[in-house]
Homo-oligomer: A and B are copies of this chain.
Amino acid sequence: MRPLYRRSDLERALAPRSIAIVGASERPGSLGLRTAKNLERYAGRVHYVNAQYTALLGKPCHASLAALPEVPDCAVLAIPKAGVEAAVAECARLGVGAAVLFAGGYAETGTDEGRQAQQRLIDIAAPAGLRLVGPNSTGLANFVTGAHAAFAEFAPSTPRASGTVGLITQSGALGLAVSAAANTGTTFSHVLTCGNSCDVDVADYVAWLAEEPSCQSIACVFEGLREPAHLVEAAKLARENGKPLVVAMLGESEAGRVAARLHTATAVEERGALKKALESAGACLVPFAHLVETASFFAKAPSPATPAGVAVLTSTGGGAILVADALEASGVPLPQPGAEAMRTLEQAVPAYGARRNPCDMTANATSNHAMVDACARALLADPAYSALVLPVSRAINVPMFQALGEEARRLGKTVCVVWLSGWLDGPGTKDFEADPNLALFRSPQACARAIGTWLNRSTGERKP
């Protein structure tokens, strides 16, 4: 078994300086055209390969990989299965760094023929040091360089210094689905998919992103692994690099595992042991529905200066109960404020509210923003708290929340907004999502689990 791939092994696949599209095309709907369109923002060199054209989309088109003016770092094989094996052999012969394989019909068919065809690709590529992504993959995108080497139209993102998530999904459709959060303010540096994972798999991607400066957390969803120990190794690498890793593992059920075999012909044996090992390595395991918001939280939250408790501040008493329930269930302490913060709450909050933690400022807070600001700053300044959680039923005075987020960062703390509304992407959510210092959760449970892991993780880091 080969070792976990590291930066130098994957550089030509994940940060290519040149990309060839084999099967480039102008035919509407074709994978070749979709890939060419996706590469329009690419900072590197793109080459088209298709014997049927001499020019395409205003650029020259070459008859073969061998006819290109350079050996590309990465070749995207946007061609039917029938031509894939020969193209992979050509890549290996020429010294191409990586090939992205869209075609299906391999091991996932469950047939000997399919399995053998997949094995032949590995046998051709491995000796040449040619990395394979797929087969049965939708490709991968690096939004730092615009290397969107995929037919899937992942929503484009502009990575930033805080709050940027590197996304890894085995399934192309799930990559498309999850990364659609970019439309509502979430920022991604990469969307990396690997389909059947005959060579590069999600563990290799995690290792890459662990050492990648453009993202501040990693979100990973998968159904199968070549070698579970690789993912644990990659998780440790992520922890060593201070890069939080959030994992959603599919295939919990027998029905799900059968579906996985027919989807990518991959699986995970000894799931319980793997989960334990991942958690020991600092990863946060979540249900799929919580993946994005949890990863986004980790990309925004600085490691707590001193892991302490959490304060809850709200204008809705119902929201206070909901969030307190969830935090307590996740083992997160809700200590009472110190004397100084307490004085502020007693001055600012009406007597019929709750001048404690959780603090219910009552509906008065929806019009009295000075009250919210004073209470929030007092709680953020209190050494009893590492995080401030604000359950809201709608977004009022977003700039005040943003200023609180900045104050939290200055103090090495974090601010989470829990969105209680049934209007999930309603007014204000995009402002929260896009803010580098405000984590938005739509589920109190997801918020509590994330904070619980965040505090434990940090405590763990301090242990010898």
Contact = CB atoms under 8 A, between A and B. Distances in A.
A452 to B, nearest CB: 13
Contact of A287 (B104, B136, B445): B445
A250 B322 contact: yes
Contacts of A253: 324-325, 327-329
* Number of copies of this kind of chain in the complex: 2
A453 interface: no
A210 interface: no
Instruction: Name the interface size band of chain A.
Output: 35 or more
Contacts of A259: 317, 320-321, 324, 354, 358, 360
A284 to B, nearest CB: 17
A177 B324 contact: no
Interface string A315-343: 11111111011011100001000000000
B109 A318 contact: no
Contacts of A444: 288-289
B114 A352 contact: yes
Q: Which of A171, A179, A292, A352 has the most CB of B within 10 A?
A: A352
B263 A321 contact: yes
A348 interface: no
A177 B396 CA distance: 13
A420 B177 contact: yes
A318 B174 contact: yes
Interface of A: 29, 104-106, 108-109, 114, 136, 138, 155, 169-174, 176-184, 186, 221, 223, 250-260, 262-264, 287-289, 291-292, 315-322, 324-325, 327-329, 334, 351-354, 356, 358, 360, 362-363, 367, 393-394, 420-426, 442-445
14 contacts: A177-B421, A177-B422, A178-B421, A180-B421, A181-B421, A250-B321, A253-B329, A255-B324, A256-B325, A259-B317, A262-B360, A263-B317, A287-B443, A287-B445
